[in-house]
Amino acid sequence: MQSSPDVRAAMLRFYDRLSAGDVDAFDSIVSSDPATVVIGTAIGEIHRDRAKLRAGFEAEGIELVASDPVAYEEGSMGWVIDEPTFVFGDVGRVVTRLTAVFHREGDTWKLVHMHASVGVPDEEVFEFQARWGVTG
């Protein structure tokens, strides 16, 4: 495994193009492989459908601001760890924890998996899940 400026650049490009609402860039950034999945912060927010994945690029007023992504690669796989901030216009900001996996397709690193979460103190998890009606 080695540090990867190229995978880091691919993540930053994802942030930039999503923030710009650049739907035309979607196919050059996100893999078309059926295994591609994005997991968001909301309960049940697991997207495998390409149209739903593309919807993130179509949403207006969302900006994704990098913290300091750290990226690695091994062969045709790369991964990123970051704590970016989602900015929802005047509504507010949400600091997240994010991991992403990229696959080299030809000369391009494309996103195949991303998971964003919001940190919740361990002692508050049970209360939140009970409030949200989550059962195991």
CATH of the domain at 94: 3.10.450.50
Q: What is the model's pLDDT at position 55?
A: 85
**What is the Cα–Cα distance from 77 to 79, expressed in whole angstroms?**
7
- Average pLDDT score, the chain: 92
**Within a 13 Å sphere around the CA of 85, how many CA atoms are in the beta-carbon half?**
7
Give the containing element (helix H, strand E) for 14.
helix 5-19
What is the reported pTM?
A: 0.90
Provide the residue range defining the domain that includes 38. Answer: 2-132
The separation between CA 46 and the C-alpha centre of its own chain, rounded to angstroms, equals: 11
The total of structural domains in the chain comes to 1
Instruction: Read off the pLDDT of residues 82-115 as tens digits, 9 standing for 90 and up.
Output: 999 999 988 999 999 999 999 999 999 999 999 9
* Per-state percent for the chain, helix, strand, coil, to nearest 5: 30, 35, 30
DSSP three-state, residue 133: coil
The answer to whether 18 touches 100, Cβ cutoff 8 Å, is no
Contact 18, 66 (CB under 8 A): no
